[in-house]
Amino acid sequence: MADRGIARAFVVGHPIAHSRSPLIHGYWLETLGIPGSYERIDVHPDSIGRFLAGLPRSGFAGGNVTIPHKEAAHRAADRLDEAAELIGAANTLWLEEGRLAAGNTDAYGFAANLDAEAPHWRKGRTALVLGAGGAARAVLFALKEAGFGDIRLVNRTLSRARELADRFGAGISAHGWEAAGALAADADILVNTTSLGMGGEGAPPVEVALLPDGAIVTDIVYVPLETPLLAAARGRGLRAVDGLGMLLHQAAPGFERWFGTRPEVTPALRGRIVADLEAHK
C-alpha cells in the first residue's frame, strides 16, 4: 500500500498507449468502490532494469508487465511463481516483504476463459496448438496442467516448436505447418496462438472441417473478436471461444494482490472492453 492507504498499480511496456489493462482495472476499481489507482507507464528497454530495481521503494503495490519487458521482469524478480519460471516470462509483479515477486497469469487466463465458456475442455487429452511464440508458452503450461497428454505443436519455424517441446517436456511433439491437417483429425481442442487472423487477415492454414465433431476451437487473437478461424469453426458447428476472455481473466489475480479483492469477469466488463475495441477499429 502506498501513502494514505491508497494502493497504486501500473502497467509498464513500450509502447503502452494500446494497452487495455487500465480500462479493465479502472472498471474494477470503480465498480468495487476501491480508492486505488492503475496507471500506464512507458519505459524504454534501456531503462527497464532501473525501473524494476526501484519498485520496492516506489510506492507501487505492483503492476503488470507487457511487451517487450516480460523477460526482463522474469530476470529481475527475487521470487517467481511456477508458471513464470517455466514460461520464462512474467506479466504480474508484486512485493513480498519488500522484495520483488513475479508471476505469469496468462496461463491462468487461458484456462479460466475456457472454464467459463467451454468447461468440458478439461476432459480433453489431445490438443493441436498453432504457434510457438511467447503466448504459446502460457497455453502449453495451461494444457499440461489441465492433463493434456498429447499436445501437438505446429509452427512455421519448426526449430521454435522444437525448442518449446524440449522446454515443456514429455507429451509435446513439434511439427511443421504441413502436418497440421493430419494432426487435427483426432484433436479435442485446436488453439491458435499465432498472430494470424489479427485485423481479420490471414487465417491459419488449418481446415476446421478435419476436426472431429466435438472439438473446441479457441483463438487467443481478440481483434477482431470473431477471427476467420473462429467463424469457420462456428460455420462447421464446433464450439468456438474467442480470446478476449483470456485477457480479462489474466488480469484478476494481479488486481487481488494489489487491491485485496478478487474481482469478477462479468458480461458488463466484457461489454465495456468490446465497446472500446469497436471504438478503435
Q: Which residues have a catalytic role annotated?
A: 70
Please state the closest distance from residue 16 (CB atom) to ligand NAP, in A: 14
CB of 207 to ligand NAP, least distance (A): 16
By CB under 6 A, is residue 155 in contact with ligand NAP? yes
Contact 181, 210 (CB under 8 A): yes
Phi-psi region of 279 (alpha: psi -120 to 50; beta: other; left: phi over 0): alpha
Give residues 250-269 in contact with ligand NAP (rule: CB under 6 A).
250
Distance CA 46, CA 51 (A): 10
Instruction: Considering the complex, state which of residue 34 and residue 142 has its C-beta at the smaller distance from ligand NAP.
Output: 142
CB of 62 to ligand NAP, least distance (A): 19
Which residue from 55, 129, 246, 251 is in contact with ligand NAP, where contact means CB under 6 A? 246
Binding mask 112-141 for ligand NAP (x = CB under 6 A): -------------------xxxxxx-----
Strands (E), 16-155: 37-42, 62-65, 79-80, 92-96, 99-103, 126-130, 150-154
Grid cell 469497436 is found at 278
> For 87, which DSSP code?
H
> What residues from 20 to 49 belong to the interface with ligand NAP (CB under 6 A)?
none
Helix-strand-coil split of the chain, %, nearest 5: 45, 20, 35
Half-sphere exposure of 238 (CA within 13 A, CB side): 26
Closer Cβ to ligand NAP, 70 or 144, answer by number? 70
Q: Give 95 or 198: the residue with its C-beta nearer to ligand NAP.
A: 198
Nearer to ligand NAP, 18 or 120 (CB): 18
- For ligand NAP, which residue of 19, 31, 195, 261 counts as binding (CB under 6 A)? 195
Give the C-alpha separation, 80 to 61, whole Å: 16
Verify binding: residue 184, ligand NAP, rule CB under 6 A: no
CA gyration radius, the chain = 19
Contacts with ligand NAP, residue ranges (CB under 6 A):
106, 109, 131-136, 155-157, 160, 193-196, 198, 220-222, 243, 246-247, 250
